[in-house]
Amino acid sequence: MTRPELRVSTRRLSLNIAAVRDRIAPSELMMVLKDDAYGHGLTWAVEAGLAAGVGWFGAYDVRSGVRAREILGAHGRIFSWVTSVDHEIDEALRHDIDLGVGSTEYLSAIIDRAAAIGIRARIHLKIDTGLHRNGMLPEEWEQTIDDVRRAEEDGAVALVGIWSHLAEASDEEDDQARREFLHAVEVSGETGAIPDALHLTASAASWWRPELRGTVSRIGAFCYGIRSADGPDLEGIAPVAELSATVTAVHGDEVAVGIGSFDGIPSSLAASTVGTPAGGRSLLSVGETTSRVASWPGAAVGDSVWIFGAGDHGESSATTLAESIDTVGEEILTRLTARVRRVVVD
């Protein structure tokens, strides 16, 4: 039986990257790669990003940062922000990866490792601006900056960035976060230079709230053409990935399609619209390896059905599917299992 295919388009990714860069300039794009590049495949995403001229890559964990570095060679900056253990810190330093630092314990660990192996760590300090998900508290910021300046004099670290993450729950909260962020930058400036990389925003705020953008914008979803849940379509951006499966049987007014929950399709997606050679049809049910779809005239075994994509065959986008089950577009993509074959197209 033919396996379902996730086709990722290199051309579409480059077009999205260009649209994002146009929109956010002069802020620089950091292309976010977490969750295997939102399920699209990290190796492909880094290669395509490099070819499109992306200068910053957000790798989340050190392991994916190292994979990105192996592809990038001496090109590009890599930012890894999850708190990592000592041997991972060593790996990061040896692979020229910048580290995001959100706690004093992690800062100490990095200073120790940098001194031990004799490689200066490039760090981006994170200020907690209200999300309470990792980050230095405003009351410990001044002391932390002092500690970092001392470690800089000892040659262990270089403070190259200050960053935070927005809740994106309301504009007012994000404005308040921005004030706290700018205050943290100012405190750093009083003790010496302000680092080059100031970053606060992800896809939505980078796109819609220009006043919140820093010198760098960390963007995942919009690069891959995943719009925000309940958000509008975006000019110049379209889905990079389409998921298709094959008709395995035709029974009267419905067809069986070789894809199901074992491939990572939530069974709650039943009743959504999928694409067929004759346009949009209803997804009737999702089984383990087979789903049922409303038939069309001339439906035949071997026909393709599109579960999500750019809409060329009447299918929904990943975000539209996600909205019907109260989640976000990334979730639909990152849930796909290894049974789904990844295919790169131009």
Ligand X SMILES: *Cc1c(COP(=O)(O)O)cnc(C)c1O
Binding segment for ligand X (CB under 6 A), chosen from 143-151, 189-197, 218-226, 294-302, is 218-226
DSSP per residue over 24-55, as a string? HTTSEEEEE-HHHHHTT-HHHHHHHHHHTT--
112 SS3 class:
helix
Q: Tell me, what DSSP letter sits at residue 326?
A: T
Distant-in-sequence, close-in-space partners of 261: CB < 8 Å, separation ≥ 6: 267, 286, 287, 288
Which two three-digit tokens encode residue 162?
A: 């200050």
Shortest Cβ 52–ligand X spacing (Å): 17
| Residue length of the chain | 346
Shortest Cβ 303–ligand X spacing (Å): 33
Q: Which is nearer to ligand X, 206 or 291 (CB)?
A: 206
Q: Is 84 in the site for ligand X (CB under 6 A)?
A: no
Q: 241-251 and 5-9 as β-strands: parallel, antiparallel, unpaired?
A: antiparallel
Q: Is 34 in the site for ligand X (CB under 6 A)?
A: yes
Q: Is 219 in the site for ligand X (CB under 6 A)?
A: yes
Which residue do the tokens 């992800």 mark? 202
Shortest Cβ 30–ligand X spacing (Å): 8
Q: 197-199 and 216-219 as β-strands: parallel, antiparallel, unpaired?
A: unpaired
Q: Is 32 in the site for ligand X (CB under 6 A)?
A: yes
Binding segment for ligand X (CB under 6 A), chosen from 110-118, 214-222, 262-270, 300-308, is 214-222
Helix (H) or strand (E) holding 328: none
Number of residues that bind ligand X (CB under 6 A): 10
Binding segment for ligand X (CB under 6 A), chosen from 2-10, 70-78, 216-224, 315-323, is 216-224
Q: Which of 21, 67, 178, 218 binds ligand X (CB under 6 A)?
A: 218
Q: Which of residues 222-261 bind ligand X (CB under 6 A)?
A: none
Other beta carbons within 10 angstroms of residue 230's beta carbon come to 8
Q: Which of 24, 107, 156, 221 binds ligand X (CB under 6 A)?
A: 221
Q: Which is nearer to ligand X, 81 or 141 (CB)?
A: 81
Shortest Cβ 327–ligand X spacing (Å): 14
Show the site string, 184-203: x = touches ligand X by CB under 6 A, - = not. Answer: ------------------xx
Binding segment for ligand X (CB under 6 A), chosen from 4-12, 68-76, 217-225, 303-311, is 217-225
How far apart, in Å, are the Cα atoms of 183 and each of 141, 144, 217, 286?
10, 14, 19, 51
Q: Which of 165, 213, 281, 292 binds ligand X (CB under 6 A)?
A: 165
- Phi/psi at 285 (nearest 5 deg)? -160, 160
Indicate the residue type of 65: G
Binding segment for ligand X (CB under 6 A), chosen from 114-122, 213-221, 257-265, 300-308, is 213-221
Q: How far apart are CA 180 and CA 175, in angstroms?
A: 9
Shortest Cβ 221–ligand X spacing (Å): 3
Other beta carbons within 10 angstroms of residue 346's beta carbon come to 6
Q: Which residues sit at the interface with ligand X, rule CB under 6 A?
A: 32, 34, 81, 165, 202-203, 218-221
